[in-house]
Chain A
Amino acid sequence: MKMSHRLDKSLSERHPGFLMTPRRVWLLVLLFALVLFGAPWLRLGLESPVLKLSYPLLAFNRAWEKSALSWGEYLQQQKTLVINNQKLRTDNDYLKLKLLTAEQTVTDYRHLRATLGAREIQGKNLVARVLVTPSRATFDTLLIDLGHDNSSQIMAPGLLVGSGGVLLGQLVTVDNLISKVKMFSSAGEKTAAVIGPDKLPVELLGRGGGNFTTLLPRGVTVAIGDLATVPIYDGRLLAVVGSVDNNPEEPLQTIYLRSPINLFTLTWLEIYVH
């Protein structure tokens, strides 16, 4: 008797539930259109509940990461702690002396600004803990643990965010307990800035992860270490020139800049409330 290797039933008869029927395809296309065109309403309705539900897990993860790191460091660097301690004591004495000098400089600077009629930067900064760094979120965004309910001052989208006087980004979403920050270095973001002591006006293009690039004519001299500041945000520091690609075959030179702050190890942030 001749055996046939053909199956008795067709594919769709054997697994009818697995088939992508035209009806299912149309439903998915409809869902795609709904997400594409109804996204603002989806965000409006669902973003706040999602952030609220995610907050405990994100806060737990942050606390766990922190404790795991400190235990690891403790085990690894126990022997070097004594040496570091001695070095830090020496550094501390030196820095105290430097701080005294700096305080005098700041007083002089304020006096000068007041004399020249320049606007004083005022306002108390809020300090927020970083819940999620850009290494977790693939969009170069930060989540911070300050919102409407747990902030001493009014939080609103558009407020500037930085660390140690260095600009990092702006608040985009403010929820009850969590806020979302968009970095100036997000890929494709453009920021008007000035570079170097000559205050060359440039447009910095975000490259993600605290990096920027800009193009300048080859004749313009830009040195490594030159500062890029943002005039419209009180001339705050945004990035430092890391390298200059001055290829003689190209009409323009590419300037690579990076933020002095490492976004991936960021723990605390300041929100500049004006």
Chain B
Amino acid sequence: MFIKRLAADLVILFSLFFLPGWISLILGLLGFVYFHHYYEGVVMALWFDLLYSLPGPAWFHLPLPVTLMAIVALLIITPVRYRLWY
């Protein structure tokens, strides 16, 4: 599981630089669903935000919108996947 997780981390990290943003977001979401307590996803969301995002009206002037969404996703998805899979 550790190897899988590491591989997924690297894939998502490299997708930030080499693939369109929406693919990185989908991969990150899949990471939250597949791995338990996927805190690396939050770190990568922060990286994505610092690299690309700018506060604006499209995201309700949220300062780091993807990071905030990642934390909410972690809060919601972790207990749900726990109940569904175990």
Contact = CB atoms under 8 A, between A and B. Distances in A.
Please indicate whether A and B come from the same complex rather than being unrelated chains.
Answer: yes
Interface in B50-80: 50-54, 56-59, 62-64, 67-68, 71-72, 74-75, 78-79
Nearest to B59: A139
Interface in A35-76: 35-36, 39-40, 42-43, 46-47, 50-51, 54, 57-58, 61
A141 interface: yes
B12 interface: no
Contacts of B17: 54, 57-58, 61
Interface string B27-68: 000000000110000100011001111101111001110011
B16 to A, nearest CB: 8
Contact of A20 (B19, B63, B67, B79): B79
B56 A186 contact: yes
A144 interface: no
Contact of B63 (A24, A39, A188, A189): A39
Contacts of B59: 139
B86 to A, nearest CB: 5
A24 B82 CA distance: 14
A19 B82 contact: yes
Contact of B71 (A31, A39, A47, A61): A31
Contacts of B21: 136-139
Given A31-B42, A31-B71, A40-B63, A135 B20 contact: yes
A41 B79 CA distance: 31
Given A32-B71, A35-B64, A40-B63, A46 B46 contact: yes
A188 B56 contact: yes
A274 interface: no
A100 interface: no
Contact of A18 (B36, B56, B71): B36
B53 A141 contact: yes
A208 interface: yes
Contacts of A20: 75, 78-79, 82
Contacts of A123: none
A35 B71 contact: yes
A50 B50 contact: yes
Contacts of A36: 62-63, 68
Nearest to A65: B18
A137 to B, nearest CB: 4
A175 B19 CA distance: 23
A54 to B, nearest CB: 6
Contact of A187 (B50, B57, B63, B67): B57
B56 A28 contact: no
25 contacts: A11-B82, A11-B83, A19-B82, A20-B75, A20-B78, A29-B75, A32-B68, A32-B75, A35-B46, A39-B64, A46-B46, A47-B50, A50-B51, A57-B17, A57-B18, A136-B20, A136-B21, A138-B22, A138-B25, A139-B58, A140-B58, A141-B54, A187-B58, A188-B58, A189-B56
Interface of A: 11, 14-15, 17-20, 24-25, 28-29, 31-32, 35-36, 39-40, 42-43, 46-47, 50-51, 54, 57-58, 61, 132, 135-141, 143, 172-173, 180, 182, 186-189, 208
